[in-house]
């Protein structure tokens, strides 16, 4: 009997069940052998695996003697991201392209340099001829991250210098991918909507005079219209998601894969596979879905005790996805505040007023305040827990009318600027393949002849 592709047969189920014991590792052994699970020590501090010039994540000292207890700070190339955003606001300009320039080249551009760089991005933005028909429209999927990864790998075939890892060529590939990611992501959604949901197919070519944030809204919406506040908040989201150190899962993936000497398309596709995971880039969708469930199950959004009870049920695996998590709360480094969430919050409130969704914003703010209290009570965590950048980003995307399927691709559209900078840094500075050690704990056994093996 032939089975359909992707079908889990009874034989596969049996083999999987039989193999489980051979994979399980006693958790006590991690302590016994001092293994840093997830490359983090018992206090949650990351194991230093490399050096980077690209960004710095810090927790300010408070003087109370408690580690990681102050406000969080994030620096792009040594410049406080809060100051970067304040400069964009003060001068009323879109800042993501400028942020990309800073990450790639290590300095803020002059007016002339920025104008030239924006023109370069516009020139590289057009996807290859027939790429929409031959790649994006073929076998569309409901997960845009897979389509985006497929598109990146397909671009390898269109590049005559795909395997050239000289810095000028990698920089050229990086700039092309940075400027094409918004186009590939939005087109992937339109193809899926048309083929799987029966929607109308409309394709807006990006405009060279628009910023990346403006082009995303223009290409996504059938009428191509958007407000200035919408575009500026999306631009801000791109700036805040652009980079977050070499140790986050997807960026570390770029370092690991790049250290093998492979091509740019393979390295970025690997990073996309990492970012797709719900523990990484997919977290903003989980936050939005959690709030959907909360709004259905909490009758009075202003009742603190009712909201607290729902949060307790989340932690006790009695609500939403029963994972025992309050999504959007907590971070590996930040405990008192995530600077990205802090910057974002004021703009989120402005957008919620424009969209008539102030009550929802008030609920988010209430959860942001109450969740640390509930987590401290239920989990006995005293170092502090704060809202991270994912807490508000899904709400923002929903208010902008961005479909859930594009939440993580938007994260990738921003973060590829950081990935590209880290790839170039790895290629310039490292001549060793990244290869951490795993301790083998399997007992030694004698080989047994076939006739003596038991079923």
Whichever domain contains 223, its CATH number is 1.10.580.10
Does 136 share its domain with 119? yes
Residues 116 and 160 in one domain: yes
Tell me which of 122-126, 198-202, 420-424 is least confident: 198-202
Closest CA to 242 of 346, 150, 104: 104
For residues 249 and 272, what is the distance between their CA atoms, to the nearest angstrom? 10
User: Using CA atoms, how far apart are residues 395 and 375, in angstroms rounded to an integer?
Assistant: 22
pLDDT band at 195 (very low <50, low <70, confident <90, very high): confident
With a cut of 90, say whether residue 209 has pLDDT above it. Answer: yes
The model's confidence at residue 273, banded by pLDDT at 50, 70 and 90, is very high
| Residue 53, C-beta contacts closer than 8 angstroms, at least 6 positions apart | 77, 106, 425
Residue 119 has pLDDT above 70, yes or no: yes
Q: What is the CATH number of the domain that holds 296?
A: 1.10.230.10
Residue 257 — pLDDT band, cuts 50, 70, 90? very high
Give the pLDDT of residue 346.
81
In a domain, residue 49? The reply is no
- Predicted TM-score (pTM) of the model is 0.91
Instruction: Give the per-residue pLDDT at 30.
Output: 87
In a domain, 174, yes or no: yes
Q: Which residues are catalytic?
A: 331, 390
The mean-pLDDT minimum among 30-44, 87-101, 161-175, 404-418 falls in 30-44
The residue-averaged pLDDT of 202-231 equals 96
In a domain? residue 86: yes
Residue 262 shares a structural domain with residue 321: no
Instruction: Identify whether residues 359 and 424 lie together within a single domain.
Output: no
Full domain range(s) for residue 89:
79-103+111-279+403-429
Number of structural domains the chain divides into: 2
Provide the H-helix boundaries in 276-357: 283-297, 304-315, 339-354
**Which residues 6+ apart lie within 8 Å of 176 measured at CB?**
124
Q: What is the pLDDT of residue 334?
A: 60
Q: Is 181 in the same domain as 303?
A: no
Does 56 map to a domain? no
Q: Is residue 435 part of a domain?
A: no
pLDDT of residue 67: 52
In a domain, 424, yes or no: yes
Task: Please state, in angstroms and as integers, the Cα–Cα distance from residue 448 to each residue in 10, 140, 321, following that order.
Answer: 28, 48, 46
| Residue among 348, 347, 349, 311 nearest 330 (CA) | 311
Same domain for 289 and 357, yes or no, is yes
Return mean pLDDT, the chain: 91
162 neighbors 111 (Cβ within 8 angstroms) = no
In a domain, 439, yes or no: no
Q: Indicate if 225 and 86 belong to the same structural domain.
A: yes
**417 and 349 within one domain:** no
Token pair in block for residue 293: 């469930």
Same domain, 295 and 348: yes
Asked, for residue 24, whether it belongs to a domain, the answer is no
Residues 146 and 268 in one domain: yes
Q: Are residues 118 and 170 in the same domain?
A: yes
For residues 333 and 417, membership in a common domain is answered with no
């Amino acid at each position: 009997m032939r089975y359909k592709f992707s079908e889990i047969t009874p034989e596969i189920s049996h083999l999987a069940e039989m193999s489980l014991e051979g994979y399980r590792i006693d958790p006590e052994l991690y302590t016994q052998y001092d293994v840093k699970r997830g490359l983090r020590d018992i206090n949650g501090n990351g194991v230093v695996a490399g050096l980077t010039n690209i960004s710095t994540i810090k927790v300010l000292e408070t003087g109370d003697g408690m580690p990681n207890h102050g406000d969080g700070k994030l620096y792009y190339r040594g410049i406080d991201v809060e100051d970067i955003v304040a400069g964009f606001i003060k001068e009323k300009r879109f800042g993501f392209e400028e942020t990309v320039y800073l990450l790639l080249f290590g300095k803020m551009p002059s007016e002339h340099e920025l104008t030239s760089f924006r023109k370069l991005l516009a020139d590289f933005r057009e996807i290859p001829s027939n790429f929409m028909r031959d790649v994006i429209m073929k076998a569309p999927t409901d997960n845009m991250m897979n389509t985006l990864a497929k598109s990146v790998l397909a671009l390898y075939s269109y590049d005559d210098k795909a395997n050239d890892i000289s810095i000028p060529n990698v920089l050229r590939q990086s700039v092309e991918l940075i400027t094409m990611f918004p186009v590939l992501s939005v087109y992937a959604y339109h193809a899926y909507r048309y083929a799987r949901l029966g929607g109308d197919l409309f394709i807006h070519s990006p405009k060279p005079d628009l910023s990346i944030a403006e082009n995303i809204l223009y290409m996504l919406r059938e009428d191509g219209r958007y407000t200035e506040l919408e575009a500026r908040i999306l631009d801000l989201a791109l700036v805040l998601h652009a980079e977050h150190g070499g140790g986050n899962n997807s960026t570390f993936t770029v370092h690991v894969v790049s250290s093998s000497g492979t091509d740019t398309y393979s390295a970025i596709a690997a990073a996309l596979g990492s970012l797709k995971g719900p523990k990484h880039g997919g977290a903003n969708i989980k936050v939005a879905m959690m709030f959907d469930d909360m709004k259905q199950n909490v009758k009075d959004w202003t009742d603190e005790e009712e909201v607290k009870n729902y949060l307790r049920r989340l932690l006790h695996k009695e609500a939403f996805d029963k994972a025992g998590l309050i999504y959007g709360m907590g971070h590996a480094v930040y405990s008192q505040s995530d600077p990205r969430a802090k910057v974002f919050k004021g703009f989120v409130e402005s957008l919620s007023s424009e969209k008539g969704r102030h009550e929802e914003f008030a609920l988010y703010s209430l959860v942001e305040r109450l969740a640390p209290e509930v987590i401290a009570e239920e989990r006995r965590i005293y170092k502090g827990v704060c809202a991270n950048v994912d807490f508000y980003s899904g709400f923002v995307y929903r208010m902008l009318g961005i479909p859930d399927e594009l939440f993580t691709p938007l994260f990738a559209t921003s973060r590829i600027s950081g990935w590209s900078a880290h790839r170039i840094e790895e290629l310039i500075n490292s001549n060793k393949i990244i290869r951490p050690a795993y301790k083998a704990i399997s007992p030694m056994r004698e080989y047994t002849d076939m006739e003596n093996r038991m079923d």
